[in-house]
Homo-oligomer: A and B are copies of this chain.
């Protein structure tokens, strides 16, 4: 968050004011010395972002795969070393490279090859609890209140919000949550992920990597997100507004 000067126009005319805007940084990730990609992100929790990104992109299987991460905030570089050399380096880079800019479609290259693990659990949550969690989630979104320019994501056990992150990108916000959960060794299995953003198949894929049972958003899902959630038996809930919500898949988990 930073302060800038601007001209506000309203019914009373033009005036110079100062206002808060969200910051943006281009973080270039180097893996084993090789440039992987650049993420436009909010310049906080960059280690967690890197860890969550590698994990949700299936480039690492656990945090133990990471030997070292050095964040160079002067040049906006993250230098990551792994404990074991990656199997097929070329494949991994190709996989990432063909993933899109624009919206990030890593999933279409990485995920298609991965066996989808259907979620089988006894996790349940009441609609009242969902409403309460979403209220708490939104109350926590201080960056959004100040700048209107960030998304938020959170991890919840059902009772509490365990991790809460904001970022100018909704994918990054979720990766930061996953990254911090890994750093703190929090249990993500059967958990609830909350997000302020729209749900594409890629967001579902990230929730899958965390082995969450619920993905809950204020916003809309796409048809492919719903299709993938159904295949995974993930409970996908959208448009949580006031006491109202849409349960798209696996609605037996909502009591």
Contact = CB atoms under 8 A, between A and B. Distances in A.
A3 to B, nearest CB: 10
Interface of A: 2, 4, 6-11, 14, 19, 21-26, 28, 35, 37-41, 53, 96-106, 108-109, 127, 147-149, 168-169, 171-172, 198, 200-202, 219-226, 239, 243-248, 251, 254
Contacts of A245: 8-10
A98 B149 contact: no
Nearest to A128: B9
Given A38-B109, A99-B37, A223-B2, A168 B9 contact: no
Nearest to A97: B97
A200 B168 contact: yes
A253 to B, nearest CB: 11
29 contacts: A4-B223, A8-B246, A9-B244, A9-B246, A11-B243, A14-B247, A14-B254, A21-B226, A22-B220, A24-B224, A28-B108, A37-B99, A37-B102, A38-B99, A38-B100, A38-B108, A40-B200, A96-B101, A99-B101, A100-B104, A101-B101, A101-B103, A103-B168, A103-B169, A147-B220, A149-B198, A149-B219, A149-B222, A168-B200
Contacts of A198: 149, 168
B4 A39 contact: no
B9 A39 contact: no
